Chains A and B, each alone.
Chain A
Amino acid sequence: MKIWIVLEQKDGELHRMSREAIAAAQGLAAATGGGSVDAVLLGGGIATLAEKVAGGYALGSVRVADHPNLAAYTPGGYVAALSAAIAAAAPDWVVFPHTYQSVDYMARLAQGLGAGLLPEVTAFEEDAQGLLFSRPVLGGKLVAKVRVRGEGTMLLSVQSGAWAAESAQAGSGELVTLDGDLAAAKPDREILGVEEVGGEQVDLTKAEVIVAAGRGVGGADKMGVIEDLAAALGAEIAASRPVIDNGWLPRDRQIGSSGQTVAPKLYIAAGISGAIQHTVGMKGSAVVVAINKDPGAPIFSLSNYGIVGDLHEVLPALTKAIRRAKEL
């Protein structure tokens, strides 16, 4: 089995999930009876990082594409550079971290190569018929088991947190140049700039207690129960993405993959189902309380305490109970 990993980097630093992808690829190699694990690193001015990776992890080689065309990420540049090299080497698997950047171009790369695509893998196991991969479906409410069929390269991405970065095996690999004509790997767009969303006026990362509202709250005019509970607790108010998209709260209150990542002492999730895009931003919380009318909501599986019920009845009762407790 020949396995490649496409590492993601920005400004000469590895993306946190790149190390998780190394761990996943090493695990896949071990499960399929050994074989080679090689990493690919794309960018511009990344010689120092490439040396660090080659000296840091148990890899066959680190194939480096260091070119001004790849200094800033564009699908045009990345797909062209990777297509030529993957087509030439024909690895069985190419493992990506499931980041916003990977998802932006992986499917396109697979289409151009005639390769297969298996995004957002959280685990794999082996049975009599071969490998069986797990991935979330229906907003994380269920887990699907997926089998790969047919011949040829498969592109696979691994979900954040599914493999521990610390379990990536240390060692070293040979530093080589990625095959292909990088001068022809031209950006297919002009990058005009990068801006901060909403300016991050509110820093939720320092909050000790957070009351987070989800779609289940039901409307901007129904946020009172959240505000009352937050006031009783002295907590910050936050939200999952649907609340922000609906304009019930400003964008700088968003927790999750496109918002802030928090780790308070107490996180109360009200009317939040627990899609992975939200939970990556709050799973470091010390104590999580979930209130949701759906007992099957995934949020309960990573909470310490749960109440199944209508948040518009539970939250006022909770606010009262907290005020009573504080008077004691």
Chain B
Amino acid sequence: MRVAVCMKQVPDTEARLRVHRDGSWIDEEDLAFVINESDEYALEEALRIAEKSGGEVVVISLGPERVKEALRKGLALGAARAIHLKDEAFLGGDALATGKALAAAIGKEEFDLVLTGSQSDDVGYGGTGSVVAGHLGWPHAWLVMGIEIEEGGAHAKVTREMESGLNEILRIALPAVFEVQAGINHPRYASLKGIMKAKRKPMAEPTLEELGLNPEGVGSAGSRIEVVSVAFPESGAGAEIIEGDPEEAAQVLVDKLRKEAKVL
């Protein structure tokens, strides 16, 4: 099996975020970036499938120069090579524009399977993988919690998460795009040997022309939606914050829960 994994690099969700001076997005200076959580699970799933079937994994990411760090981590974990869509024209796209560029890169080669996370932890459109599938004319499934490749590799048995604690078990023809949900597996850690080997693995940087794309059709220019500003939600009606050291705060809280809220 040849498996492509689309990964996004996103701000560390644990990081303290600040809105940029111009208000248009968060301030990315000094911000830590990590591989999007569900994409990490997608990569682990791809590595397991390739190891079992004797194939290879190719990691693909769209983003600025810093994205190379995420791709290198993918290579250190076991991917054979990386593709970086780094032209400025690719950046700032919605799910449709980003999916179009990724699909062009994937369509240049022959893959049996494309895996990606179900949703990015930054903009969270949750549709990029399905757009890739649409361009390739392949079936897709979102929120995938299990993948079993059938003998012969023509079909996969897929577990898809539904609402209210139910899973749907599906049989889907390959090639296909599966958008993996966090928790499908336990991602491995990179070994020192893997990190050293990653340095020699190839990283391609295809241009717009090589992918047959127009700058107007991708990135921000090719998007139907535009984020004009971000702000912290108004928390006026929020919690009464109880100050003091842990002992004091705990005592005040217990008093309030007993006397004010009357729940203890």
Contacts and interface: CB of A to CB of B under 8 A. Distances in A.
B246 to A, nearest CB: 4
Residue among B124, B224, B263 with max Cβ neighbours from chain A (10 Å): B224
B143 interface: yes
Interface stretch (B77-85, B160-168, B192-200): B160-168
Contacts of B126: 103, 107, 119-120
Interface of B is mostly: mixed
Nearest to B132: A111
Given A117-B125, A139-B121, A145 B227 contact: yes
Contacts of B257: 266, 287, 289, 305
Interface stretch (A30-38, A87-95, A185-193): A185-193
B225 A104 contact: no
B239 A305 contact: yes
A282 to B, nearest CB: 14
Interface of A is mostly: mixed
B264 A322 contact: yes
Interface residues of A, number: 95
Contact of A266 (B99, B122, B170, B263): B263
Contacts of A313: 246
Given A107-B131, A197-B166, A265-B263, A100 B161 contact: yes
Contacts of A209: 263
A137 B122 contact: yes
A118 to B, nearest CB: 5
Nearest to B170: A189
B17 A138 contact: yes
A245 interface: yes
B242 to A, nearest CB: 5
Contact of A108 (B125, B133, B250): B133
A299 to B, nearest CB: 8
Contacts of A295: 241
14 contacts: A101-B163, A116-B94, A116-B96, A138-B17, A142-B17, A142-B26, A146-B228, A147-B226, A259-B165, A266-B257, A288-B239, A301-B238, A321-B247, A325-B258
